[in-house]
Chains A and B, each alone.
Chain A
Amino acid sequence: DAKTTQPTSMDCAEGRAANLPCNHSTISGNEYVYWYRQIHSQGPQYIIHGLKNNETNEMASLIITEDRKSSTLILPHATLRDTAVYYCIVSGGYQKVTFGIGTKLQVIP
């Protein structure tokens, strides 16, 4: 079973920041938070991961709460090409991963 909870869907205006929340209240101390996205009819794409510190890369930022029970993926300036299903996954990093249903993000012009 997936160990994360995400909203089923979200809308975001083009050019605005998209903030995608994820709850993972049962995360273990050695588990990382990973984010992937899947654009329609394509394989998932890795976005970012983190353990406890906030992380940023060219695609997004990951904000993890101090208690690590939740996190937020931030796409700073959403474009139409960011429309996809976003998956938040917790994993020890050497384990098989389980995908939940994710959040369907619709970027609106």
Chain B
Amino acid sequence: GAVVSQHPSRVICKSGTSVKIECRSLDFQATTMFWYRQFPKQSLMLMATSNEGSKATYEQGVEKDKFLINHASLTLSTLTVTSAHPEDSSFYICSVNSGGAPDTQYFGPGTRLTVL
């Protein structure tokens, strides 16, 4: 399956700052990537679908101006949490679609964000 990396694996920042998380598809060109958020003891919640060369599609309740997504190439999507606050502290995970029939999602290792 596809190999997906995320950087950084952990980040601690002060309230009010912005944080960028990178998601890379290392061995596969991904036209579609997904961003999830997971709070402690909860399941993954889809935030947005990232489409290469076009605007991301956000799920209901997810602020597109706060969670900026850029999918500028077939191997890289970035999620920027703008003006982060403690309630944004979470585990952020990206995934890519395999492009097979049927599609299978392969996930990155996740990024732990802590906002102080």
Which residues from chain A sit less than 8 Å from chain B, CB to CB?
A: 32, 34, 36, 38, 41-46, 49, 87, 91-94, 96-102
Given A41-B110, A43-B108 in contact, is the A32-B43 Cβ separation under 8 Å? no
Task: Name the CB-closest residue of B to A44.
Answer: B107
How many residue-residue contacts, CB under 8 A, span A and B? 52
In the assembled complex, which residues on chain A have CB atoms less than 8 Å from the CB atom of B101? 93
Task: Name the CB-closest residue of B to A48.
Answer: B104
Chain B residues with a Cβ closer than 8 Å to the other chain, count = 24
Task: Name the CB-closest residue of B to A31.
Answer: B102
Choice from A32, A41, A49, A99 contacting B44 with Cβ under 8 Å: A99
Given A96-B34, A96-B49 in contact, is the A44-B104 Cβ separation under 8 Å? no
In the assembled complex, which residues on chain A have CB atoms less than 8 Å from the CB atom of B105? 46, 97
Rounded to whole angstroms, the CA-CA distance of A102 and B43 in the bound complex is 8
B39 → A minimal CB distance (Å): 13
| Interface check B1, CB cutoff 8 A | yes
